[in-house]
Structure 1
Amino acid sequence: MGNRIMVSIECNAYNHEDFIAEALDSMLMQKTDFAYEILIHDDASTDRTADIIRSYEQQYPDIVKPIYQTENQYSQDIPFEVYNSERALGKYTAVCEGDDYWTDREKLQKQVDYMEAHSECSMCVHAAEKVSAVTKKRVATVRPSNKDKIFSVEEVIEGGGELFATNSIMYSREKIPEMPEFYLNATIGDYPIVILGALSGTVYYMDRNMAAYRVEVKGSWTDLHLNDISEKKKHLQDVANLLDEVNVYTNFKYDNVISFTKKRNSFYLLLKQLEIKQTLKKGYRQFYTKPEFFKRIFKRITI
């Protein structure tokens, strides 16, 4: 494949001075038979993140291609994808946030090989581990299947935003040339892009652990949004709004799974609030018999 840029790596960074070097090193260690570029977007960091990125830009000017914001874009609800969609040269986009990193040198090659051989594939994902930013130890594994498989639209919708690790995502820019309204309106993580991937072709999961996804990062999206009940309620309302938009976008083809998923999310929020009487009402009782209930109780209820 030679000098043609096959993959554009999309990396968003904000106050990641403790992590950004490891993220960039993990991208630069990739062994591929094609060229790739790192489109890094520093969202007006107030620490040394931009300085660290500049040092990599000087060392690897043909690969590391930064944008340095002087005013924070995230706080203005401007999705950073808008800065990369027009400048990206790759056939595929791989995602890795500035506080995460890859652990397998063959990650990009394996995903591209699969997608090149399967033209119907719009998105390829893989297993990853969750690593604590505090202890630096593995705390969990993101492994939605114990074998390679294609995930259906229904499974992706029901799986929610944490079904796959962000930094496992690679998608086809040909199959997803532009982002629809439901994606642009969303304020929540990866859920919209994975749903879009499933609607645009097949989503293929590789059961190979090739990345580390950091949790317990101070100031991260999860840290800011999911650490108290009122924020959780707002988050689930945002999820419900997204699913309603997806329902309209797909002409209600997936109405059953969307209705089920919204109700299940409400059930777990009620449990979190210890509103046990509410959970025993008609429509909610079904969730007590699902295998997921016992898994969540075992892990202490999470949403």
Structure 2
Amino acid sequence: MVNEIMVSVECNSYNQEDFIAEALESILMQKTNFAFEILVHDDASTDRTADIIRSYEQRYPDIIKPIYQTENQYSKDVPFETFNDERARGKYLAICEGDDYWTDPEKLQRQVDYMEAHPECSMCVHAAEKVSAVSKKKVATIRPSHKDKLFSVEEVIEGGGDLFATNSILYSREKIPKMPEFYLNATIGDYPLVIWGALRGTFYYMDRNMAAYRVEVKGSWTDMQVSDVAAKQKHLQEVAVLLDEINTFTNFKYDYVINRTKRRNRFYILLKQLKIKETLKKGYRQFYMQPEFFKRVFKRITI
């Protein structure tokens, strides 16, 4: 059927009146030979975000399908999947949060074309740029490979939560029909999601910049959770718990890379705390010789 939904786009928003219109416009500009829907979930915004969404809903009632919460669900630890996944009609699910946006009108078509030609693929991502919400300028590029590439489970685990841009993700709902416990238990959504994607089939990266991922957004998860060393330490402790759960879930198949990743994360926290003697102990010294170390030193050891 011509009008059958191929892609459901998940767009979660909260107090993003300055960004939500750009996010929705970037999705609506997609040039596709298939139908798609935009599942907007506004988590009881206290600014004009909901009003802006309503104006788009009135203009595009067949595409934009919003939910307007009257009570904030995030504060109640209610996963957004509860509201979006169950109503999604698409064969594939794409992500574009309310403070991000897509930059290439062919993004969805290119990803769907690949997925349709490779039914073994569970998840497809692509390059993106980081844009400052303050200066509105590009501050970095998220480009884990300088060519198209199939990433292994090990590479996805070791790459960490910043390896891919959230708004580059498109995945097969047939291969990922529901989220595992380690995802539902996690305090961060991106990292366990891409690991789950890699575990469920092949994981394909397109070396084409097709999205902008905003950073320095006031009130965002990153802004609140990883703004100082103490918060970063807490964050990486939560990552370690997540990795331990994944280790158990996979029957310790990826035990080596999981433990190596935990040690590496601890290594960079020790550096941030200037605990140099501890970084010279056995188990940590190896990270001084990795290319990543020199990149982080050049960037003043950012995490």
Normalised by the length of structure 1, the TM-score is 0.99
The answer for the alignment partner of 2:130 in structure 1 is 130
Which amino acid is the alignment partner of residue 123 of structure 1?
Answer: M
- Asked if residue 168 in structure 1 is aligned to residue 143 in structure 2, the reply is no
The answer for the alignment partner of 2:110 in structure 1 is 110
Equivalent position SS for 2:178:
coil
Kindly report which structure 2 residues correspond to 1:21-32, keeping only aligned pairs within 5 A, or say none.
Answer: 21-32=21-32
How much has 1:188 moved relative to structure 2? 1.2
The whole-number CA distance in structure 1 between the counterparts of 2:14 and 2:27 is: 18
How much has 1:228 moved relative to structure 2? 1.3
The whole-number CA distance in structure 1 between the counterparts of 2:193 and 2:78 is: 16
The answer for the alignment partner of 2:150 in structure 1 is 150
Taking every aligned residue pair, what percent have the same amino acid on both sides? 81
The answer for the alignment partner of 1:287 in structure 2 is 287
Equivalent position SS for 1:182:
helix
How much has 1:234 moved relative to structure 2? 1.0
CA offset digits 1:207-232 (Å, max 9, x no partner): 00000000110000110000112211
The whole-number CA distance in structure 1 between the counterparts of 2:83 and 2:198 is: 24
The answer for the alignment partner of 2:98 in structure 1 is 98
The CA RMSD over aligned residues, in Å, is 0.7
Normalised by the length of structure 2, the TM-score is 0.99
Which amino acid is the alignment partner of residue 301 of structure 1?
Answer: I
The answer for the alignment partner of 2:277 in structure 1 is 277
The whole-number CA distance in structure 1 between the counterparts of 2:243 and 2:229 is: 21
Contact 2:111 2:170 in 1 (8 A): yes
Equivalent position SS for 2:44:
coil
CA offset digits 1:12-70 (Å, max 9, x no partner): 00000000000000000000000000000000000000000000000000100000001
The whole-number CA distance in structure 1 between the counterparts of 2:270 and 2:126 is: 32
How much has 1:299 moved relative to structure 2? 1.0
The answer for the alignment partner of 2:258 in structure 1 is 258
How much has 1:160 moved relative to structure 2? 0.3
The answer for the alignment partner of 1:86 in structure 2 is 86
How much has 1:78 moved relative to structure 2? 1.3
The whole-number CA distance in structure 2 between the counterparts of 1:144 and 1:79 is: 28
The whole-number CA distance in structure 2 between the counterparts of 1:245 and 1:199 is: 14
CA offset digits 1:222-247 (Å, max 9, x no partner): 10000112211110011000000000
The answer for the alignment partner of 1:44 in structure 2 is 44
Which amino acid is the alignment partner of residue 73 of structure 1?
Answer: Q
Equivalent position SS for 1:99:
coil
Q: How many residues align?
A: 303
The whole-number CA distance in structure 1 between the counterparts of 2:53 and 2:268 is: 41
- Asked if residue 16 in structure 1 is aligned to residue 26 in structure 2, the reply is no
Contact 1:26 1:101 in 2 (8 A): yes
Equivalent position SS for 2:6:
strand
Task: Return 5+ residue gaps in structure 2 as ranges.
Answer: none
